[in-house]
Amino acid sequence: MSNYNKNLNWRYATKKFDATKKVSEDDLNILKEAIQLSASSYGLQPYKVLIISDPEVREKLKPAAWNQTQITDASHLIVFANINDFGENHINEYIKNVSDTRGLQPENLQAYADMMKNSVNSLSEDAKNAWTAKQTYIALGNLLSAAADLKIDTCPMEGFEPDKFTEILGLKELNLTPTVIAPIGYRSEEDETQHYKKVRKPEEELFIAL
């Protein structure tokens, strides 16, 4: 088994974190870069990522996450939030980034920009928001794998109330909707679930070879 797969086998959805242990700034920067390098549709990254360490903010969020202790006991709380009603201005910003990064003239990217705008503009607002929300899960996957590589524990969670998170974090003003969250830190020795054998479908049931 490769080291990568060993690390994935090591990770689990941590139910109880050790509140005394904190992720170092160096490791946090590695995780941020892993999220930053995530794949996304057209490379647009139609989301923002909040990294919350403030204990007071997390105490406010805890009731909106069904009082799950991971919210406050983990080292940091990562909140992935999609951009609402993603549109042409966001694509223009991306094209400028491409132009600046690769030293290309914007006019040489016009056809690419028009193709993306036509694709995005063809979607209803609900479909557009569903599309951008899906992109956050790709970034979440990168976070989980990168954290496992550093032996940092995580717990991906959909068990929270997005409307209350939006209100507490002031996300409406930022035109964002929280889609999925992930506390990160280090498992408590008292977390019995760390000793459970990992349960996954067998290969012959999961994969279809054509």
Handedness of CA 66, 67, 73, 77 (dihedral sign): positive
The CA–CA distances, whole Å, from 109 to 93, 102, 114 equal 12, 11, 9
**Beta strand residue intervals within 53-123, DSSP E:** 76-83
Whether the per-residue pLDDT at 1 is higher than 80: the answer is: no
Share of the chain above pLDDT 70, in %: 100
Contact 111, 84 (CB under 8 A): no
Per-residue confidence band for 33, with pLDDT thresholds at 50, 70 and 90? very high
CA pair distance 201, 125, nearest whole angstrom: 36
Under DSSP, is residue 3 helix (H, G, I), strand (E, B) or coil? helix
DSSP annotation of 198 reads P
Nearest to 130 by CA among 86, 95, 97: 86
**Beta strand residue intervals within the chain, DSSP E:** 47-52, 76-83, 153-154, 176-185
Per-residue confidence band for 2, with pLDDT thresholds at 50, 70 and 90? confident
Contact 49, 81 (CB under 8 A): yes
Contact 152, 15 (CB under 8 A): no
CA pair distance 182, 51, nearest whole angstrom: 10
CB contact set of 124 (below 8 Å; sequence gap of 6+)? none
Whether the per-residue pLDDT at 141 is higher than 90: the answer is: yes
Domains in the chain (CATH in brackets) are 3-85+126-190 (3.40.109.10)
**Residue 183, by phi and psi: left (phi above 0), alpha (psi -120 to 50) or beta?**
beta
Instruction: Write the pLDDT tens digit of every residue in 72-122.
Output: 999 999 999 999 999 999 999 999 999 999 999 999 999 999 999 999 999
**Residue 95, by phi and psi: left (phi above 0), alpha (psi -120 to 50) or beta?**
alpha
* Per-residue pLDDT at 103: 97
CB contact set of 209 (below 8 Å; sequence gap of 6+)? none
Nearest to 186 by CA among 17, 12, 16, 9: 17
